[in-house]
Amino acid sequence: MFDKLDFIHDKYDELNRKIADPEVINNQPEWQKYMKELSDIEPIVHEYKRYKEIKEGLESTKSILEESTDEELREIAKMELNELEESMAQSEHQLKLLLLPKDPNDEKNVIVEIRAGAGGDEAGLFAGDLLRMYTRYAERQRWKVEMMSVNETGVGAIKEAVFLIKGKGAYSRLKYESGVHRVQRIPVTESGGRIHTSTATVAVLPEVDDVEVEINPNDVRVDVFRSSGNGGQSVNTTDSAVRLTHIPTGIVVSCQDEKSQLKNKEKAFKILRARLYDKMQAEQDAEIAEARKSQVGTGDRSERIRTYNFPQGRVTDHRINLTIYKLEYFLDGDIDEVIDALITTDQTEKLKQVV
């Protein structure tokens, strides 16, 4: 590990020299590339410098204990030694985390897709609750939310919603949300007071650009039609809605939220690109040996990952056996406690694999 850290430190010094070179400064694309590399390894270098400072302090304190005959000084040194050993262990653990291979998608924006599952109208209402939860979470993070497509079935109920969340590190925080979410509660339409179980599925896809996923125009059939809304609302008199069918994969994307056909087409292609990228990633992941996969991962779409139990006011994440009794706050977007726990578990599993 320390050979790797020494190499990164040397690379850091080299990059600093390059970005100060007038020739490189005049070549903006090259300068920006070096700046990106520098910012990527800077946290590692800073932590490594801290580690070495702690190590020097530790060695100095040990020397005092070995050489000094002053009992008062030795007692102080013993206390410092315990603190330094603890700090050194923490710094070494942090360095191991920083050296873990990074998910190349972590800094990307995300496209979130929520679909009502089993449970009829109640599933649609729950899907609406999840839409609000993620929207509120994005607001708490000061991220921007852009609705791309929504299919409403009634007041507060949705059949499907697709939206873009723009913000630094959005994918790194939300990628664990993919999977089946289950709700247990008494529906407003239930006169007998019985608890019903309904589900909704969530898919979190990294936003990708044209360079990462190239789509052959000949592979896509584009259909236009008039948009329709709930109760006669948002009905256009022009063919502004767009449906894309990717012929090789059979993936279909519809978008009708915008009044402009061009904007709907643009949004639909963005969703299609993300779904194709996700499909490619899923195929690559399937080739990786199960032993090397993270215990948490980014969530299988068919996997039941979480239960929201209203009578008990609890939220349980089944992947890490974590239960919290803050359902009301959780559905209002206060979901960091569970996300942090998922990230910690994922990092721990990856560290075990490295060891």
**115: enclosing H helix or E strand:** strand 110-116
263-316 pLDDT per residue, tens: 888 888 888 888 888 888 777 666 544 433 444 544 445 678 999 999 999 999
Q: Which residues sit opposite 222 in a β-bridge?
A: 244
Are 138 and 86 contacting, i.e. CB atoms less than 8 angstroms apart?
Answer: no
List strands edge to edge, sheet with 251-255.
220-225, 241-246, 251-255
142-197 pLDDT per residue, tens: 999 999 888 888 777 899 999 999 998 899 999 999 999 999 998 876 666 788 89
Q: Own/partner pairs for 186-192, CB < 8 Å, 24+ apart?
A: 186/310, 186/311, 187/121, 187/122, 187/125, 189/121, 189/122
Query: Alpha helices, DSSP H only, in the chain?
Result: 2-19, 22-26, 28-67, 71-99, 120-140, 170-174, 261-287, 327-331, 336-354
Q: Which residues sit opposite 116 in a β-bridge?
A: 200
Are 303 and 202 contacting, i.e. CB atoms less than 8 angstroms apart?
Answer: no
- As a residue count, the chain comes to 355
**324: enclosing H helix or E strand:** strand 322-324
| Nearest to 301, CA basis, from 106, 113, 105, 107 | 113
9-62 pLDDT per residue, tens: 888 888 889 888 888 888 888 888 888 888 888 888 898 899 899 988 888 888
Are 203 and 301 contacting, i.e. CB atoms less than 8 angstroms apart?
Answer: yes
Q: Which domains are present in the chain? A: 2-99 (1.20.58), 103-207+290-355 (3.30.70.1660), 217-287 (3.30.160.20)
CA angle 99, 104, 109 (to 5 degrees): 130
The pLDDT of residue 321: 94
